[in-house]
Amino acid sequence: MISSKCNCDRCQHEVCARRVPIFSTLSIEELQKVVNLIYRRSYIKGELIVIEGSNLDSLIIINSGQVKAYRDTQDGKEQILYVFSEGDFFGEKNLIINQAATYNVEALEETNICAIRKEDFQKLLTEHPSIGLKIMEELCNRLDRLEKTIEGMGSKDVEARLGMVLLEFARKHGKESGEGILVELPLSREGIASYIGLTRETVSRKMTLLQNQGIIEMVGNKKVLIKNIKLLEQTVQ
């Protein structure tokens, strides 16, 4: 059975559950149980998956596509907190500490999600403590990232912040090519700006700067070729 070529609901579910790190410790039988709990949704680009302040009652796992999690600040801007893609999950906060969603989540492209309802998820958690451990791992990783972000924002080196984001995207969707790593940017300049707390103009300026230094090369508006990743890493650290 080549599940990746089967498009029935069942198999898609299984694929989804398999792909997700938090279920990686489960046996095939356990996985099957999880699959039965999952329901699916699809969203087109720009569609809101979660609205800040609403009661989200499911854990949501990204099957394919990408989303941004953001907040609207009081001065009307949006602050992007996370860019999630395949295998990432969100909504855990609403399940665990029982609070309304603290940010909006919007599809950046066509996105398919798998979701598990709160009750099902909590049952799962008590039956399989290993899932809890995986969740904790991921939460810790997220804390790690946020801590680094804060450190970066504190030490006011703007170029370093931009470099960090480029490296993050490169890790996620970078493709090795002859002259370097080609990265498809999930966010526009404005999005990047909101992600690292700058204005789009400054992001523009800094990008051209990095380009003039020979570190990157912009390919259209949505791609970047990282020509010298070592130099970029130095800029960051």
What the block records as the tokens of 120 is 């099902």
**Residue whose CB is less far from DNA, 159 or 168:** 159
Closest distance between a second copy and the C-beta of residue 21, in Å?
12
Write the interaction track for a second copy spanning residues 138-167; mark x where CB under 8 A is met and - where it is not.
Answer: -xxxxxx-xx-xxx-xxxxx----------
237: contact with DNA by CB under 7 A: no
**Residue whose CB is less far from a second copy, 145 or 223:** 145
Residue 112 interface partner, choices a second copy, DNA, none, CB cut-off 5-8 Å depending on type:
none
Closest distance between a second copy and the C-beta of residue 62, in Å?
18
Q: What are phi and psi of 38, to 5 degrees?
A: -80, 140
Task: List 71's β-bridge partners, or say none.
Answer: 79
Vertex 77 angle, CA 75 and 80, to 5°: 135
Residue 220 interface partner, choices a second copy, DNA, none, CB cut-off 5-8 Å depending on type:
DNA
Closest distance between DNA and the C-beta of residue 179, in Å?
17
Q: Which of 107, 231, 109 is nearest to 181 (CA)?
A: 231
For a second copy, which residue of 11, 37, 96, 225 counts as binding (CB under 8 A)?
96
The alpha helices in 60-214, defined as continuous H runs, are 92-96, 118-127, 129-154, 158-173, 189-196, 200-212
Residue whose tokens read 């997700």: 20
The alpha helices in 84-154, defined as continuous H runs, are 92-96, 118-127, 129-154
102: contact with a second copy by CB under 8 A: yes
200: contact with a second copy by CB under 8 A: no
Q: Under DSSP, is residue 204 helix (H, G, I), strand (E, B) or coil?
A: helix
Closest distance between a second copy and the C-beta of residue 55, in Å?
16
Measured over the CA atoms of residue 52, residue 188, residue 16 and residue 144, the dihedral's sign is: negative
208: contact with DNA by CB under 7 A: yes
Q: Which of 55, 51, 13, 53 is nearest to 35 (CA)?
A: 13
188: contact with DNA by CB under 7 A: yes
46: contact with DNA by CB under 7 A: no
Rg of the chain, C-alpha, whole Å = 19
Residues in contact with a second copy by CB under 8 A are 71, 73-75, 77, 79, 81, 92-93, 96-97, 102-103, 125-126, 129, 132-133, 135-137, 139-144, 146-147, 149-151, 153-157, 194, 196-197, 237
Residues in contact with DNA by CB under 7 A are 156, 158-159, 188-190, 197-205, 207-208, 218, 220-222
